[in-house]
Amino acid sequence: METRCLSFGEHRIDLDRRLLYRGDRLLEPERREFDLLQLLIEAHPQTLTRRELIDRLWPRQEISDASLAQLIRHTRKLLDDDARNPKYLKTLHGIGLRLIPEPIEETPITSAEPRRRIGLLPVVNASGEAQNDWVEHGLAEILLQKVDAGSNLSIQLIPHNEFNPHQLLELYGCEALLQLRLEKGFLPRVLSWELLQAGHEAPLQDRIEAGSIMETAGKLAALLPQLLIQPGQAGADRSRIPSHSDNPDANERYGEALQALEQGDTPNAERLLHLALELDGDFSWARIKLADALYRQCRLDEGRDIIRSLLDSSGLETEQLIAARQVLSNILYSQGEVEASIRESGQLIGLAQASGNRKLEADQWMNLGGSSQGIGDEKTAFQAHGRALELYREIGHQLGIGNTLYNLANVHHGLAEWSEAYSLYEQAELIFERCGHANHQAQARFEMAQILRQMGQDADRVRQILQDSKKVFSRTGDAEGEALAEVELIHCDIDDGRYRESIEHLQTIIQRCREQNMAYPLFMARHQLIRAYLNLHQPEQVDELIREVQEFNPSDPMFKLLEAHCAYERRDYPSAIDLASRIREQHKDTWEEQHQRMLESYQQAQQSGHWEEHLI
C-alpha cells in the first residue's frame, strides 16, 4: 500500500496515514491541526480565507473567529513557528492564511503489510448525563487519530443507517464492525464494546473503565489489535479489567475516588477511599490510592505508613507492588530523601520492564528523571525524561507526555535556560488544558510566572498568574503547590523592598511546612527568609537557615555563596573572598556570571575599603 508523503521546511507529512514528523521525531497534532495543515498544503500557494477555513474545518457549525485563531495558534506551536517572524504559516490580515514553504512530493512509502479496516458505528451515551456527551462528540475522532498513528489498523466512521451489521461489513469493505456505548449507572464509568468480525456470527463483547477521553481512546487503540482474529485463528484473546474488590459498593466508592483524583479533588478522593476501605478492609488498591491522596496533600508520614504496611504484607500483585513503591518513591523525594527515591525508581524500572507494561515503565523513568535533577545530575535527568517521553508517545498517553515536558522544562529552568524552559512549560500547559487538568495547568503557569519574574518581565502579570495558581492549588487540596505560590508571591514582595512584612509571612509559612512535612516549600521559604534578612543587613539571623538550605541542595553554588555574603555583610572582606574563591574552584561546571559578579563585588570592596549595599 502506497502513502502520499510531502515535505515542507523541516517537516514531513504522510497525508494518508495522518502522520507528521519534524526530522525523525513523530509529532502529535490534534485532528483539526492536521486538517488545517492538509488544507493549506493542498491549496498552496493560494491563500485560504477565514470563511473557507471555518466552512471546511467545522462544516455546518457556527464557529467564532476566536476558535479559528486558537487553532492557528496551536498549530504554530506544533510547528515551532513564530507569528512575528513566521517560517510556515503566513497570516494576511483581512484576507486569510497560507503555507509559506512549497510542499515537495516525496517518494511514496510502501507499507509491508496492508492496513486492516474497522468500521465504527456512532458512539452512544446511554448514561443519561449531559457531562458525558464527550463520548458521542469526541471519542470517535480521537480514537481514529490514535489508531491511525499507532498500528496497521484504520477506522472507517459509519453513519446511522438501516442495514444489519453483516450488510454494513460488505457495504463499507470493513474487516470488523465496532459499537461503543457508555453505560448508565456505573461508577467508575463503564464503556461497553462489541466487535463483529467478518466471517463470524457472534460478536465479541466486553467493557472497560472509561477515564478521561484521551485515556479511554488510548485503551481502545491498544485493545483493538489484540481482538482482531487473524486468518486461521480459532478465537481471540480477550481480557476484562477485573473488579478490584468482591464488594460492589466498595468498587463503586473506589471508582468515584479515581475520578476525584483525576480531577485534582484529593480531599474528596480521600473521603471516598476511606468509605471503600470501611466496606472492604483488605482492598489493597484502595489503600495504595489512599496513600497517594495523602501524599498529594503533603501528609507524607501518613502515606508512608500505609505503604510500608502494604509492602510488609504478602500477596500484592505485580502492578500493585509497582504502584505502591511508586508512591513511596514520591514520598521519599518530597521528604528530602532523594538518594533513597532514586534507588526505588531504579528498581521500579526493572519491575515495570519485566511486567511488559510500558506506561508503568514510562512513569518510573519520569520519576528517576525528577529525582536525578534533585541531586544536580542533569545528564541523567535529561536521559530519563527523554526515555519516558518516547514511551508515552508510543502509547499515546497525553497526560504522561505533558508531565514529562513539564519535568524537562524543570531541568532547563534549573540550568537558567529560560527560553527552552518557557517553551516546554507552554507545551505542557496546552496538553494539560486539553486533558482538563486544572491543577497541572496551574503548575505549568506557576513555573512560567517564575521565569517571567527572573527575566524581569511584567511584574503585574507575574503576580496575577501566581495568585490564580494559588487559588487553584487551594481548591484542589494541593497544599504544597499553595505554599510554593505563597513563597513566590513573597519573593516578588522582597524584590519590591518589602522585607519586614515578608519575614513575618515567611515565618508563618515555615511553621506550616514543618507541621505538614513539606520539604521543598520549606527549603524555598528558608531561602527567601535569608534574602529578606540579608537585605536588611542582619547576617546574625541566618547562620542556621543557610546550613539547612545547603543540606537540602548541596550542588548549587548560590546557596554556598550565601555564607560568603554573610561575611561581606560583616565587613569581613578577606573571608568573603576566600569562601567565594573556594566555591568557584569546587563548582567550576556550575559557576555562572551571577556568582562571578558577587565575588568581584567582594574584591572591589576590599580594594576600596568601602562597603556597598548589594541586594540579593
**What digits encode the pLDDT tens for the residues 391-428?**
888 776 777 888 999 999 999 988 888 888 998 998 88
Transcribe 275-319 into DSSP letters. Answer: HHHHH-TT-HHHHHHHHHHHHHTT-HHHHHHHHHHHHHSS---HH
Angle at 442 between CA 504 and CA 263, to 5 degrees: 115
Residue 51 pLDDT: 84
Task: Label residue 236 by pLDDT band (50, 70, 90).
Answer: very low
Q: Which of 116-120, 138-142, 525-529 is modeled with the greatest confidence?
A: 525-529
Is the omega angle on the peptide bond into residue 203 within 30 degrees of 0, that is, cis? Answer: no
Rounded Cα gap, residues 464 and 466, in angstroms: 5
Domains along the chain with CATH numbers: 2-105 (1.10.10.10), 115-227 (3.40.50.10070), 248-336 (1.25.40.10), 556-616 (no CATH)
Interval 443-456 mean pLDDT? 89
pTM of the model: 0.51
- Please compute the mean of the pLDDT values over residues 230-255 and round it to a whole number: 57
C-alpha cell at 426: 507552554
CA separation for the pair 566, 576 (Å, rounded): 8
Q: Examine the pLDDT at 484 and tell me if it is beyond 50.
A: yes
pLDDT digits (tens, 9 = 90+) for 76-130: 988 989 888 889 999 887 788 999 998 888 654 444 445 677 888 888 888 877 7
Query: Hey, what amino acid is at 98?
Result: R
Q: In sequence order, what DSSP letters do the residues of 165-196 get, joined into one string?
A: HHHHHHHHT-SEEEEEEEPSS-SS-EEEEEEE
pLDDT at 528 over 70: yes
Mean of the pLDDT values across residues 251-273? 79
Give yes or no for residue 148 having a pLDDT over 70: no
SS3 210: coil
Least confident piece of the model among 112-126, 435-449, 554-568: 112-126
Q: How much is the pLDDT for 231?
A: 44
Least confident among 160-174, 321-335, 487-501: 160-174
Amino acid in the structure at residue 529: L
Torsions phi, psi for 447 (to 5 deg): -70, -35
451 Cβ neighbours under 8 A, 6+ residues apart: 413, 418, 421, 422, 425
Which of 360-364, 455-459, 501-505, 605-609 is the most confident on average?
501-505
Say how many residues make up the chain: 616
Secondary structure letter of residue 138 according to DSSP:
I
User: Is residue 538 very low, low, confident or very high in pLDDT (cuts 50, 70, 90)?
Assistant: very high
Helix, strand, or coil here: 586?
helix
548 close to 563: Cβ distance less than 8 angstroms: no
Q: Per the structure block, which three cell numbers stand in for 155? A: 477506522
Q: What is the mean pLDDT of residues 343-349?
A: 83
